[in-house]
Amino acid sequence: MPAKQPGSVFYLGGCRSGKSRLAEEFVVSNFSRPCYVATMTRGQDVELHDRIDIHQKRRGDCWQLIEEPRDLGRILSAPNDADVVLIDCLTMWLTNLLLADLSDDDIRKVVTEFVQAISCCQVTVVLVANEVGLGIVPDSSLGRRFRDLAGWLNQQVAEVCQRVIFVAAGLPLILKDR
């Protein structure tokens, strides 16, 4: 089945807003060979294992799965059999870059290269991220650094995506559609 909405789609919202579910529903409704790129790894956190299992059960077996915590640009440039790539989530990806002790300049370079890869990708790209700028100002320098980089990352991705959807309480609000 051909894609009804070509290009790139960005789902943005708060934690537990329903953005991942809506992104997955969009993909399943419009594509036949989806690839799910997970930026979160299981690690030692048992609660996190449960969350990952819930996401995987909700998606079912029709998805190709790639777990990639850092090198998203490579995923988008590598040939595969998918007709759509869903990346969930960019906020966790940013966390992984911060935990790798990258400088802000290094992170900006990686993000710039990733945004270029989105623009050049031969299949539809669907992205999911948290909007972290609606809450209180973090009281730590690391928290403010994360918030600032996440806001900048989201702006860069929104700029190149054809469609941007803000999700709150499970409801989509179209911010951009061209």
Domain ranges of the chain: 8-177
Q: Read off the tokens for 32.
A: 């036949």
In the three-class reduction of DSSP (H, G, I as helix; E, B as strand; rest coil), residue 174 is classed as: strand
**The predicted structure's pLDDT at residue 4:** 39
pLDDT digits (tens, 9 = 90+) for 136-178: 899 999 999 999 999 999 999 999 999 999 999 999 999 999 8
What number of other Cβ atoms are within 10 A of residue 28's Cβ? 16
Per-residue pLDDT of 52-77, as tens digits, reads 777 777 777 788 989 899 999 999 98
Find the mean pLDDT for residues 128-132.
96
Give the pLDDT of residue 78. Answer: 78
Query: Which tokens sit at 13?
Result: 């919202």
What is 50-114 written as a DSSP string? HHHHHHHHHH-TTSEEEE-SS-HHHHHHS--S-SEEEEE-HHHHHHHHHHTT--HHHHHHHHHHH
Average pLDDT of span 28-38? 94
Rounded to whole angstroms, the maximal C-alpha distance in the chain is 49
CA-CA distance, 82 to 164, in Å (whole number)?
22
Q: What angle do CA 146, 152, 158 make, to 5 degrees?
A: 130
Please give the mean pLDDT across all residues of the chain. Answer: 90
Indicate the pairing of strand 84-88 with strand 171-177. unpaired
> Which residues make beta-bridge pairs with 84?
34, 124
Residue range 24-48: mean pLDDT, rounded: 86
Q: At residue 144, what are phi and psi to the nearest 5 degrees? A: -70, -40
- Catalytic member of 33, 55, 145, 147: 55
SS3 label, residue 123: coil
User: Residue 49 catalytic?
Assistant: no
- Tell me which CATH code domain 8-177 carries: 3.40.50.300
Output 44 or 41, whichever has higher pLDDT. Answer: 41
Q: What pLDDT was estimated at residue 93?
A: 97
What is the predicted pLDDT for the residue at 20? Answer: 94
Mean pLDDT in residue range 114-125: 94
Phi, psi of 138 (to 5 degrees): -60, 145
Give the confidence band of 22 by pLDDT, cuts at 50, 70, 90: very high
